Structure 1
Amino acid sequence: MKFTISFGIFAFAALVGASNVVDLDTKNFEQFVGGDRPALVEFYAPWCGHCKNLAPTYEQLADAFPSDKVVIAKTDADGVGRELGTKFGVTGFPTIKWFPAGSLEPVDYASGRDLESLVGFVGKQSGVKSSIKPPPPPLAVELDASNFDDIALNNDKDVLVAFTAPWCGHCKTLKPTYEKVAKAFLSEPNCVVAQMDADAAPNKPIASKYDVRSFPTIKFFPKGSKEPVAYSTGRSEQQFIDFLNEHCGTHRSISGLLSETAGKVLTLDTLASSFFTASLPERPDVLGKAREYLATLTGTDTKNSTAAEYYVRAMERVLEKGEGWLAKEQARIAGLLASPSLAPTKLDELKIKANILSSFAATKASEAADAAGDLYDQAAGAAGDLYDQAVDAAKQVPQQAKDGVDQFADAVQGQAKKIKEEL
């Protein structure tokens, strides 16, 4: 029984200690490297803190690729592999090098030390798929030397560019937030959220041209301008969104939906307000003014003119079908906005209509609030009068009670006196 337990513990320990990372030294190096399989080799030192931090990730990397197609290996370049470290120019730890199949001429690995970066590199170099599910493609537009000018310097687009480096910790921290911002602006083709690996050799001249000295550096390239504006605001999602809305003329919220200001036109908001406060005979005149303003927008501002058209159509429908149309149309649009299957462009269209109709509804709500306020003042006044009367009545009660007690006392005394006289 003791032997069985001991053997079980030994087997479990052996299982836990099993590793797919190949240990190399000067004797077996060429047995695994330079043959028919490509190899990624980590040159480490046992005392190196960065090497210790990398170790569990490197084990996961070895587990992710079939060992008969890719070699994931390491060598103690401060011990048994010291000669190998010297031979391949290793001057710091950890140093990671890629050896293509059939070659002992390595390529330096200069990307991140996270599992995603390592898996991506090995997969790209070897053409072998890993067992790890690949991350979704980035939502931020990927820029490099081949497409930078076409996108960032496009005269029709406003572009926010994050210049990053794969090894940069601050860049990794920024990435999830930046991806959310990119997602929020997917429906804005002319307001682009982009990023660039500014530490990649082909991209370094561009980074230098725009004075990128640290990572991440974020710059905004306005449409029609070749000179960027340094982004120096905060790095929260809301701060990025506020900046882009201000500089791109957009109205996006964190969710990616349009905000309450989207589609609003100040002049037409004022006319919408006066439309409902005007008497019925005066409303056509207000509609006429709205049509005149719409004519000034047509051909000059397509985005605003499209929204402005709905102000006019709403006024026409109210004149045709009565004020009840407004409430019905608001309810219809609210129901459609709650649908999870609408395309982003349709959601934008409905949100703009809802925002515009709120300009009319706000007027009615204001009138109702004023009326309610008048009723409240009247009720409060009446209540105040009743209260004053009640207070006056209450003030009289003590005196009335005292008078009653005095009368009772006089009556008792008189009766007692009468009885005494009779005796």
Structure 2
Amino acid sequence: MRLATALSAVTLLLSGFAAASAVVDLNTDNFDSYVGGSKPALVEFYAPWCGHCKNLAPTFDKLADAFPSQKVLIAKTDADGVGRALGERYGVKGYPTLKWFPANSKTPEDYTGGRDLDSLVAFVTEKAGTKSSIKAPPPPAAVELDAGNFNEIALDSTKNVLVAFTAPWCGHCKSMKPAYEKVATAFKSESDCVIAQMNADDEQNRPISGKYGVTSFPTIQFFPKGSGKPIPYNLGRNEEQFTEFLNEHCGTHRTPSGLLNDLAGKVVSLDTLASEFFSAAIPDRSAVLSKAKEALAALSLQGAASGIDKRANETAKYYVRAMERVVEKGEGWLVKEQGRIANLLASPSMAPTKLDELKVKANILSSFALKKVEEAYEHAGEYAGDAIKFAEDGAQAVQQKAGEVVEEVKAKVGEATGRVKAEL
């Protein structure tokens, strides 16, 4: 019994050590001896009954563990109890309130960032110039906007820009962030389609969010190139819906994974000629090739006059190159080329720009066999119709023959019955 009691006491003692926090507790008696000295300090003013404070406590403990205590102070004070006078001294109106005290200063600045560990670590690292033991998160894929760069980026007349106005404390913003970041990554290679976000609740950014009517978070607006007037984004907040909106308004052809979709690089007029070329008799293909060259030349002139992206003209040239290869090497070239491209697209080490180029070529080559596939479907329909007609005719013949047999059997049964009755 004594042994069990002793073990329980040891366990309780060890658990107390394990639960010990590196966050320094401050009160009116020790505050000045900790804050304002050679070490900078991040101080949380909290209340024991505050739910938000309770939620922050485990994160604040991890924050204190992440930095060397000899270089930066992570501390807290019960501003509704032993630290009430400190709360009044620094104008604390709500809980939790976090304030940053630079080294050798008792004049703080308010912390207005997020209450997640990554945001807090980034803030202390920047302010204290001290590295933490926590691996830094990758930089955000979405472009970060603020009062200093908003007009330069969001109102750039050569760019289409999607802007998410967010707040660090907003739960809906946090829920949306993974999808928004995924889409920002997917559109990274689209130079004129920018995915951006701004902390619209930051004091320096509030005039901008007010200018664009932001009253709740997240508010998402699309700024088309050449226009300073935004379009409200009213679709859902998953990556498929963001991608659908951007493709429609930016003229892009991306998938949520970042790859191009099956429409990328295709030109309707050349698609028609490609299928006509492949279904034509071999002697007639040269004439279709000439038509394609004329159509390409017209597209090039149109693009030069309207400022269409030069990349579109370059991809359109592949229709003509493919026709020339088929004329030169036969249809076998098309099959081999499609197989080669399919293998390269499956390569995990392929650079994004090369993947885009290959996907466009694969899309264009698919147009060549389109008409033949359609013809095959038509013939299949004809054959299916013949087969159905044949089956119907056969069924009718079988049914007719079966009726004749039944009648014949009935007649024979009648004759036999008559003979039996006569003999009786």
- Report the TM-score when normalising by structure 1: 0.91
Query: Structure 2, unaligned stretches of length 5 or more?
Result: none
Aligned residue among 137, 140, 143 for 2:139: 137
SS in 2 for 1:298: helix
Q: CA deviation at 1:297?
A: 2.3
> Could you give the per-residue CA deviations for residues 77-135 of structure 1, whole angstroms, max 9, x where no partner exists?
11111111111222222211111222211111111222222222112111222222221
Alignment pair present for 1:346 and 2:354: yes
| Greater mean alpha carbon deviation, residues 66-75 or residues 316-325 | 316-325
Question: Partner of 1:194 in structure 2?
Answer: 196
What is the distance in 2 between the residues matched to 1:108 and 1:370? Answer: 72
SS in 2 for 1:130: coil
> Could you give the per-residue CA deviations for residues 239-287 of structure 1, whole angstroms, max 9, x where no partner exists?
2111111111111111111111111111111222322343334322222
Question: Partner of 2:92 in structure 1?
Answer: 90
Q: CA deviation at 1:56?
A: 1.9
- Letter of the 1:106 counterpart: P
- Letter of the 1:94 counterpart: P
Question: Partner of 1:331 in structure 2?
Answer: 339
Question: Partner of 1:361 in structure 2?
Answer: 369
- Letter of the 2:220 counterpart: I
Q: CA deviation at 1:298?
A: 2.1
What is the distance in 2 between the residues matched to 1:10 and 1:375? Answer: 83
- Letter of the 1:261 counterpart: L
* Structure whose CA Rg is larger: 1
What is the distance in 1 between the residues matched to 2:271 and 2:347? Answer: 28
Alignment pair present for 1:315 and 2:323: yes
Aligned residue among 298, 308, 322 for 1:296: 298
| Greater mean alpha carbon deviation, residues 292-301 or residues 341-350 | 292-301
Alignment pair present for 1:248 and 2:286: no
Question: Partner of 2:115 in structure 1?
Answer: 113
What is the distance in 2 between the residues matched to 1:255 and 1:84? Answer: 51
- Letter of the 1:321 counterpart: K
Question: Partner of 2:30 in structure 1?
Answer: 28
Question: Partner of 2:239 in structure 1?
Answer: 237
Question: Partner of 2:313 in structure 1?
Answer: 305
The alpha-carbon distance between structure 1 residues 214 and 3, as it changes in their structure 2 partners (threshold 3 A), is: closer
SS in 2 for 1:195: strand
What is the distance in 2 between the residues matched to 1:316 and 1:115? Answer: 60
What is the distance in 2 between the residues matched to 1:188 and 1:370? Answer: 40
Question: Partner of 1:19 in structure 2?
Answer: 21
Alignment pair present for 1:371 and 2:379: yes
Q: How many residues align?
A: 416
SS in 1 for 2:158: coil
**Contact 1:221–1:228, Cα closer than 8 Å, also in 2:** yes
Aligned residue among 172, 175, 181 for 2:174: 172
Q: CA deviation at 1:225?
A: 2.4
What is the distance in 1 between the residues matched to 2:313 and 2:394? Answer: 57
Question: Partner of 1:421 in structure 2?
Answer: none
Q: CA deviation at 1:413?
A: 6.5
The alpha-carbon distance between structure 1 residues 45 and 387, as it changes in their structure 2 partners (threshold 3 A), is: same
The alpha-carbon distance between structure 1 residues 397 and 239, as it changes in their structure 2 partners (threshold 3 A), is: same
- Letter of the 1:368 counterpart: A
- Report the TM-score when normalising by structure 2: 0.91
What is the distance in 2 between the residues matched to 1:94 and 1:202? Answer: 21
Q: CA deviation at 1:16?
A: 4.2
**Contact 1:297–1:304, Cα closer than 8 Å, also in 2:** no
| Greater mean alpha carbon deviation, residues 255-264 or residues 140-149 | 140-149
Alignment pair present for 1:154 and 2:156: yes
What is the distance in 2 between the residues matched to 1:17 and 1:250? Answer: 53
Query: Structure 1, unaligned stretches of length 5 or more?
Result: 418-423
- CA-atom RMSD in angstroms: 2.1
- Letter of the 1:340 counterpart: P
The alpha-carbon distance between structure 1 residues 208 and 2, as it changes in their structure 2 partners (threshold 3 A), is: closer
SS in 2 for 1:75: strand
What is the distance in 1 between the residues matched to 2:400 and 2:206? Answer: 89
**Contact 1:43–1:75, Cα closer than 8 Å, also in 2:** yes
Question: Partner of 2:411 in structure 1?
Answer: 403
What is the distance in 2 between the residues matched to 1:180 and 1:305? Answer: 29
> Could you give the per-residue CA deviations for residues 365-422 of structure 1, whole angstroms, max 9, x where no partner exists?
11112222222222222222222221122112323333344454566677x67xxxxx
Question: Partner of 1:392 in structure 2?
Answer: 400
**Contact 1:265–1:304, Cα closer than 8 Å, also in 2:** no
